[in-house]
A and B are shown apart, each in its own frame.
Chain A
């Protein structure tokens, strides 16, 4: 028996809630399967029949454009029937509880929930409560995890750098509020990246951040030295409840990525950002649109990686 909610008794993926607790082999398998879905864009009919007849509900309790649309496209390319619910327009606004919403959707013979929620642990909660045949994918929960984003970032890094075992990766910006950063750090460590640095002002770092397996710097110039991969994070103004920064312009001056500062990293370093970008706040337009930026490649890869995760989570449990 496996006590990890995410895996079935044979160690296969059942829910995808967090990178934490998933073995390196499984993460690598996800990347390998996604590789084959990338090639599908050559097909005239960009669809495979894997999830024909399955019903997937995107439950978005929090706004999202990129994540929701790529999940939707991924489901459609797997031939699933997909329904996207924005909760502002649903019964929740009439007072229905989360559990009642889930029970009602279950009664409509749903096979998978893709959940985004502002509260950490929401996807876990649904995975615990839902009927046993249903799989749950976390599309971002509070400040906890955004594992599909982390996997598409790992996929993009592997596509360009080929190998994780000799990389230096810097994650820069609002680590405190970032579920993306938490999932990225776990994935980078699991996949064997030898050095993960976080670079941020003290006010935007969680306490004891070193315990996540990173080195810490408060100086962008020093932190960027010899880095292969630069991951910029969005300044999450909507989650800031207190004055953590003097001003945006001062933040940009100290921690914004400019062409000049990027020169400190390795000449073939790539620049990533999970989007949406605040141009001129955490990243200069010239860098975001520049030759080292792989930001749009990340978006394209998001479809393939989500296809892989959805297909793997939907394999019939207990037979393999």
Chain B
């Protein structure tokens, strides 16, 4: 059973530790739409980040455009300040294949060249497909075949593991 409060506490603790270890100065926090923004809103308050929260919509940077096309619900990304030379905390809800993070990094680098980027996710699950991994996690889990994680929010933020019925 996943308890959302525990995961948020753990992610907060890991982020605080990493901010000190990596010496992040006045970090800029960016959440990936949609679930990542919900988690980022929580971390943003807990870590007392000064600048407005950045919102990233990676729809135009996905690598599966030729298969699924343009997401009709795409919304503009909102990055609050110049990212050149900045220390960035990037937040997503679930780390799975790594492809979302690749897209997010590509988009951030089109806005400028950050000094460092730290990745925090609420849940890291198995199934990585590219050599990227999160720096801070609320929990790392291994799912059974057919299981997936469903985050709902933003208020209340809730999490559940769904088991998909396997198609015949």
Question: Which residues of A come within 8 Å of B, CB atoms?
Answer: 12, 29, 32-33, 35-39, 42-45, 47-50, 308, 311-312, 315-316, 319-320
Contacts and interface: CB of A to CB of B under 8 A. Distances in A.
A39 B77 contact: yes
B161 interface: no
Given A48-B60, A50-B65, A319-B67, A36 B110 contact: no
Given A49-B61, A50-B60, A32 B76 contact: no
A38 B57 CA distance: 13
B80 to A, nearest CB: 11
A36 B65 contact: no
| Residues of B in contact with A, size category | 20 to 34
Contacts of A44: 84, 110-112
Given A33-B72, A39-B78, A315-B69, 17 more contacts: A29-B72, A32-B72, A33-B70, A33-B74, A35-B75, A36-B59, A36-B77, A37-B60, A38-B76, A42-B79, A44-B110, A48-B61, A50-B65, A308-B70, A311-B70, A316-B69, A319-B68
Contact of B68 (A29, A311, A320): A320
A316 B65 CA distance: 8
A42 B76 CA distance: 11
B65 A315 contact: yes
A312 B69 contact: yes
A42 B72 contact: no
A309 B66 CA distance: 15
Nearest to B63: A49
B69 A320 contact: yes
B106 interface: yes
A35 B70 CA distance: 13
Nearest to B109: A45
B60 A36 contact: yes
Contacts of A312: 69-70
A165 B110 CA distance: 38
B38 to A, nearest CB: 20
